[in-house]
Amino acid sequence: MNNSCYREIENALIPVAGGHNLTARIWLPVIAASSPVPAILEYLPYRKRDATAPRDESTYPAFAAAGYAGVRVDISGTGESDGEFDDEYSPRELADGLRVIQWIADQPWCCGSVGMMGISWGGFNSLQLAALRPPALKAVIAIGTTVDRYNDDIHYKNGCHLSSNFTWSSTMLCFASRPPDPLLAGDGWRTLWQQRLDSQPFPLEHWLSHQRRDQYWKHGSICEDYNAIQIPSLVISGWCDGYINAPPAMAEKSTAISKAINGPWTHKYPHFALPHPRMDFIGEALSWWDQWLKGIDSNREKLPAYRAFISEDVKPGTVRLEEAGRWVAEQKWPSPDIQQHCLYPGPAGHLQTQPGIDQTASICSPQDCGTGAGEFFPNKPDAELSGDQRHDDFGSLTFDTDPLNAPVEILGRPELKLQLSIDRPLGNIVVRLNDIRPDGSSHRVSWGALNLSHRLSNEKPELMQPGVSATVQLVLNECGYRFLPGHRIRVAISTAYWPMISPPPEVVTASIALGRNTCLSLPVRHGGDQIGVSPPHNPDPLPQYPCLSEPSHHRTIERDLQENVTRYHIFDDTGEHETPGHGMRIRHTHKECFSISPADPLSYQVSSTYTCYMSRHGWNIHTVSESTLSCDKENYYLNAVVTAWEGTKQLNQRHWSRTIPRDFT
């Protein structure tokens, strides 16, 4: 990008409450000196100095060239921002965000109009700040986001405790323990780092203390009041991400202008995400900003309510660099052209168009059923994605259609109505919708989970009465998929989904009544249509930083037959990269191990070690976060240690040890 059209402010200070300053990296169009311009804000804890620098440098110079100031801000207690990091989307974070928006609008280079965007954390707080209605904020773009912090984030799913709750806590323990850069923070960097280490929270302690949908999760959940957002929103995600329900939910529920996109991607910006095809996010965003920040009619109001990629014939268990399929559009959402088609689980594992005879089928899954689940929000299109489901299908109750004579195309959220009973007061039910290819491989199209004590309410759970039948409705995740002729549609039902979901206290057997009382509803569309979605002008927009050591990623499953234990091992090493200009060298390593006995849910344990290395000639630090989680029938047991090193000297070490009662989980 030609930088003659903009200038960069590397580390601007933004005053917020309590005498603290947040820091910003700003890209200013040259014309802003004489003619103020709109500004685009991204507000994150992930370090503008190094961690997000490559993607920032692929985006904000392009915005500046089009006449927009880019403002990338680190939240309190992260990067070079002082103050304390307290929690995700905390009242303090949002209050600071409101001050940041007003500060931007008041700058002489800004015309007073601000847009906000981000992926994941930045997508969450873009919508949350929009709901608070700061006058200067005129439009948002939220990617990989959620409107329901309890049911569609990394923590819980319909009362089921997600393992990503633990994983992300360990990650944030390490991320939040990193120091400011001495080149920017000056001689006080070590004091600021020490304050940060002494004040950082143990996130899992907060998150596991709220096991039902209480006020903690309602805070920041847009679904509590969609009407709160009164400005246009563009909400984007991808089928290989975990955050796929928010785009159509906003298109359906928002009373303001809201447009939805779901592509084939992992948890990345669409102009450099995988699998292909990518989308020209820069062009899409600029048209959005032109309409709502500059008043240029770019027909954004007339966009279809929902644009989606319809995947097909996905081969599981491989690195997915390219997805077969096509783009489609629905002018309205929900679409009047999508019809609900019912399939009924029947005798001998058949999934059929008419109810079969009334009978009962039972399932008691081994506790290690679920090793093909992958990550909740994959960042890479490899083993982080859901794999071949055949092994998990063996531990599940499965029902298949006959080989299809014609394609079946779906877009929306499948639903399974179940009449069932369980033999314990607490239990989970997990449902997967799979595409069975002619070679027998099983691709997961969508999935859903329900803690049965939450069948009536996530706020006020009620134990099941063992042996007493109940009717439950389980809504699966949003999906867009075309089942091809010769393939079969499978619904798989299990009582375990490890390590994605923590197990209940006891082994559970579920008895499911077949016939009219159990049916799968698919959102079927006619198909045959197609729209064009432009690819990015630059097919590889991320700048390439010098690589000093190569990355390495491994996932293995160990089945210890002597001890009757299954272990799921994760190892990630980002490799070491040097940031041009200031020479910061960064490397992260992550080791994680989940273990469980197939016959004993209380054997569940997980441990994590996350290490961050930062260095420059004559200076080096590293921080290590170590976390463990285990349980018995009554409690969860949490332990963590964060150790910070400057060179070979241990600068700080903090310990946490917590016992948290299980609350209907």
Check: CB of residue 487 under 8 Å from CB of residue 438.
Answer: yes
DSSP 276: B
In whole angstroms, how far apart are CA 83 and each of 11, 41, 75, 86, 188? 16, 20, 9, 9, 14
| Confidence (pLDDT) at 110 | 98
% of the chain residues with pLDDT over 90? 98
Mean confidence (pLDDT) of the chain: 97
Dihedrals phi, psi of 118, to nearest 5 degrees: 165, 165
Our CA angle for 260, 262, 267, nearest 5°, is 120
Tokens 């799968």, located at residue: 520
User: Model pTM greater than 0.85?
Assistant: yes
State how far the Cα of 410 lies from the Cα of 48, in Å rounded to an integer.
40
* pLDDT, position 356: 86
Task: Specify whether the backbone of 392 is left (phi greater than 0), alpha (psi in -120 to 50) or beta.
Answer: alpha
pLDDT digits (tens, 9 = 90+) for 99-114: 999 999 999 999 999 9
For the chain, list the domains and their CATH numbers.
3-159+222-306 (3.40.50.1820), 162-210+545-665 (no CATH), 339-525 (2.60.120.260)
Residue 476 DSSP one-character state: P
Q: Three-state DSSP class for 237?
A: strand
Say what the pLDDT of residue 556 is.
97
pLDDT at 176 over 80: yes
Letter string b/e over residues 281-310, b meaning 16 or more CB atoms within 10 A of that residue's CB:
bbbbbbbbbbbbbbeeeeebeebbbbbbbb
How confident is the model over 248-264, as a mean pLDDT?
98
pLDDT at 4 over 90: no
Do the beta carbons of residue 173 and residue 627 sit within 8 Å? yes
Candidates 86, 95, 84, 54; CA nearest to 72 is 54
Stretch 549-560: mean pLDDT, rounded?
A: 96
Do the bridges between strand 479-483 and strand 408-412 make them parallel or antiparallel, or are there none, so unpaired? antiparallel
pLDDT at 345 over 60: yes
Answer whether 204's CB lies under 8 Å from 162's CB: no
Q: From the DSSP assignment, how many helices (H) and strands (E) are in the chain?
A: 11, 34
pLDDT at 323: 96
C-alpha–C-alpha distance, residues 290 and 441, integer Å? 46
Q: Is 80 exceeded by the pLDDT of residue 2?
A: no
State how far the Cα of 250 lies from the Cα of 88, in Å rounded to an integer: 21
pLDDT band at 357 (very low <50, low <70, confident <90, very high): confident
Q: Measured between alpha carbons, how far is 313 from 443 in angstroms, rounded to an integer?
A: 9
Cα 399 off chain centre by: 29
Q: How confident is the model at residue 84 (pLDDT cuts 50, 70, 90)?
A: very high
Asked if residue 447 lies in contact with residue 430, where contact means CB atoms within 8 angstroms, the answer is yes
How confident is the model over 63-70, as a mean pLDDT? 98
Split at pLDDT 50, 70, 90, the class of 486 is: very high
The rounded distance, in Å, linking the Cα atoms of 266 and 238 is: 6
> For residue 25, which of 1, 38, 3, 44 has the smallest C-alpha distance?
44
Please identify which residue in the block is written with the tokens 């770019």: 298
Per-residue pLDDT, averaged over 580-594, amounts to: 97
